Amino acid sequence: LANYDGSYSGNIFLKRGEGLQFRDFQIPEILEKFMRRQLFDLEPYWNEIESNILSNKEAFIVCNRLSQWSDEDKVLLVGDSSHAFYHFYAQGLNMGMEDSLYLKQLLADRSIPDFSKKLQTFQKVRKPNADIMMDLSERNFFFLKDKTLKVWINAMDRSNHFLNRITPRWKLEYELITDGDCLITEAMERIHLQRKIFWVTCFWLFGFYYMYLSIVFGLRKLRAKIKRKKPESLHPVFKPVSHE
């Protein structure tokens, strides 16, 4: 991650209870083996990285899914208390502010006189958006961990950016999600529609390209076959006959 002073910060994520654990780094041989395997291109900074690993405390990332956000008209959970999720989509604070804004609108809405009904409405409207954001943050975590080096993933990402530059109506996923005027549920519908358009278009383009190659190679084979075939003479050949 880039810092304001031009330096970079790195995070190391390990699955709790499985395989290598942070406490294992207290053993110098294990830490050295880890850096040689995972951080081989940062060898000049190994001493600094080692001191940072040993001096920093272990932290946990969690995803908090709750089925109930309110208790009648007494308690309402807002923000991270109701939907804490992985920080890999950078939308935690934004979601909390949107919760507060919508709650303010509900409290000022006199068409719903029952206070408990307002809290239920808050959960009904905001929870689907929070659930989608949790799924997106979890998906983005595994994307950053496992898929950033895959060629087809990078090709699809570049294609989306290219379409966004040439067609203003083609929106990037993160652009739609962070649009405060658009509900996340509506944004996801738009994202799924764009994905269908993208893959259907790719299918037809590859289909036409395959047909084009088939025609070209077919014509080449036919031309080569015609060249190899010897032309037969159209005129009769008369041989002299000797008379004894």
Q: Is residue 205 part of a domain?
A: yes
Is 215 a domain residue? yes
Residue 91 is assigned to a structural domain of this protein:
no
How high is the pLDDT of residue 182?
Answer: 67
50 dihedral zone (left: phi>0; alpha: psi -120 to 50; beta):
alpha
Least confident of 46-50, 99-103, 134-138, 236-240: 236-240
- Asked whether residue 192 is domain-assigned, the answer is yes
Domain assignment present for 232? no
Report yes or no: 37 and 62 within 8 Å, Cβ to Cβ.
Answer: no
Tell me which residue of 30, 36, 32, 35 sits closest to 10, measured CA to CA. Answer: 35
- Name 76's bridge partners: 70
Nearest residue to 84 (alpha-carbon basis) of 104, 60, 106: 60
pLDDT at residue 64 tops 90: no
Q: Is 46 within the bounds of a domain?
A: no
pLDDT at 147: 66
pLDDT of residue 41: 86
Is residue 99 within 8 Å of residue 126, measured between CB atoms? yes
What is the Cβ-side half-sphere exposure of residue 34, based on CA atoms within 13 angstroms? 20
Amino acid identity, residue 126?
R
Question: Tens of pLDDT along 93-112?
Answer: 888 888 999 999 999 988 88
**Model pLDDT for residues 192-230, shown as the tens digit of each residue:** 888 888 888 888 888 888 888 888 888 888 887 777 765
Structure tokens that stand for 27 in this block: 């053993």
Q: Counting beta carbons within 10 angstroms of the beta carbon of residue 85, is it exposed (0 to 12), middle (13 to 18) or buried (19 or more)?
A: buried
Question: Per the structure block, which two tokens stand in for 212?
Answer: 């084009």
Cα angle for residues 128, 129, 134 (degrees, 5° grid): 95
| Residue partners of 145: CB distance under 8 A and separation at least 6 | 13
* Structural domain span for residue 177: 150-227
Does residue 170 lie within any of the structural domains?
yes
Tell me if 219 is assigned to some domain: yes
Tally of structural domains, the chain:
1
Return the minimum-mean-pLDDT range out of 39-48, 57-66, 130-139, 179-188. 179-188
